[in-house]
Amino acid sequence: MMRRRRGGLIGAAATTAVVVGTAGAVSGRQQEKAMERQQQMAAQQADAVPLPSNEPDYTAEIEKLAQMKTKGIITEEEFQAKKKQILGI
């Protein structure tokens, strides 16, 4: 009875090379996809417009009052009273 050889050492090495090559190609493609997703997310975050804050801009309001005081439209007392009102003091 004769047995059929299955390729021996060279066949095993060739099979191993094919398996390793395939695994490397799959792994490389997965890494490419992950990089693409990261780049897309970064682009989306860069394009995102910050939502306006619901809090009023106290600094701008006080600066306007200071300009009004400088121009003589309001007095120092009126300025201080309005500033305290804006700041909630």
pLDDT (tens digit per residue) in 56-65: 778 888 999 9
Is residue 83 a contact partner of residue 65, using CB atoms and an 8 Å limit? Answer: yes
Using 50, 70 and 90 to split pLDDT, how confident is the model at 45? Answer: confident
Is residue 86 a contact partner of residue 61, using CB atoms and an 8 Å limit? Answer: yes
Is residue 83 a contact partner of residue 62, using CB atoms and an 8 Å limit? Answer: yes
| Domain locations in the chain as residue ranges | 8-48, 54-89
pLDDT (tens digit per residue) in 64-79: 999 999 999 999 999 9
Is residue 36 a contact partner of residue 30, using CB atoms and an 8 Å limit? Answer: no
